[in-house]
Amino acid sequence: MIKEKTVGEIVSDNIGTANVFKKYGLDFCCGGGEKLEAACRNKGANFDEIVTELELVLNDDKSTRNYQSMQLDDLVNHIFETHHKYIYENGPITIEFINKVARVHGKRHPETVEVAKLYNVLLAELQQHMMKEEQILFPHIKQMVNSSSSHDAFVNGPISVMIAEHDSAGDILKKMSELSSGYRTPADGCNTYRAAYANLKALEDDIHMHIHLENNILFPKALELEESLLG
């Protein structure tokens, strides 16, 4: 049972739980030898709340959806709720992890310094990118869905910019993966090292799905909808 394990054991069994411990300020690296209940008590954290969140991570089973059949406004909402919020929540945590890894392990593993630099650039670019989508493109798409006419062509320009920025993000992800040998933690890597690389791999997977949904489904359908509204 998870309640009987140490914090370090829980993270070793499923590295995704590192984000929960980071959220509540529980040390899973150097202080990972404490059992979960004792660690929560010593930190003054809510044991039952943390167990609930840990079990959500451990039991995560992403269901498949037919994105092609979704209404465009529903797809926009899904992308925001699932992918944008994922980056907003996990991006800053991962920056702390990878920057710490670069500081502590950079001399023995200089590639971590480059990975950290690339990731900091990537996150800054993604935050600007998502802001433009949320403030400009997404509201316009939603407006088109609920409109019977469109006065002028608009979405092609913003979509072209978004696709170019997707390409830039993809290039950075590819470089980080190559530098880290596919996010493989070396034998002397600590739990923070493992968490950083696990988060980067999870982020890569999420961004790939994010870009797929936009480039291959949302954007073509938005262009098609606008064309039909223009007549």
pLDDT for residue 30 is more than 80: no
pLDDT for residue 63 is more than 50: no
Looking at the structure, tell me whether residues 83 and 25 fall in a common domain. no
Looking at the structure, tell me whether residues 76 and 49 fall in a common domain. no
Looking at the structure, tell me whether residues 121 and 204 fall in a common domain. yes
Looking at the structure, tell me whether residues 35 and 108 fall in a common domain. no
Which of 12, 39, 58 is the last residue in one of the domains? 58
Looking at the structure, tell me whether residues 115 and 179 fall in a common domain. yes
pLDDT for residue 175 is more than 90: yes
Which of 36, 58, 80 is the last residue in one of the domains? 58
**Top-confidence residue, 28 or 40:** 40
Looking at the structure, tell me whether residues 73 and 32 fall in a common domain. no
- The residue segments making up the domain with residue 181 are 67-230
pLDDT for residue 147 is more than 60: yes
Listed as own residue / partner, the contacts of 132-139 with beta carbons closer than 8 Å and 24 or more positions apart are: 132/158, 132/161, 132/162, 133/84, 133/162, 134/80, 134/84, 137/162, 138/76, 138/80
Looking at the structure, tell me whether residues 189 and 106 fall in a common domain. yes
pLDDT for residue 142 is more than 70: yes
The one-letter amino acid at 29: C
Looking at the structure, tell me whether residues 18 and 104 fall in a common domain. no
Looking at the structure, tell me whether residues 49 and 94 fall in a common domain. no
Looking at the structure, tell me whether residues 103 and 83 fall in a common domain. yes
pLDDT for residue 24 is more than 60: yes
Looking at the structure, tell me whether residues 111 and 146 fall in a common domain. yes
Domain of 8: which CATH number?
1.10.3910.10
The structural domain count of the chain equals: 2
Looking at the structure, tell me whether residues 91 and 176 fall in a common domain. yes
The C-alpha atoms of residue 56 and residue 76 are separated, in whole angstroms, by: 25
pLDDT for residue 150 is more than 60: no
pLDDT for residue 64 is more than 80: no
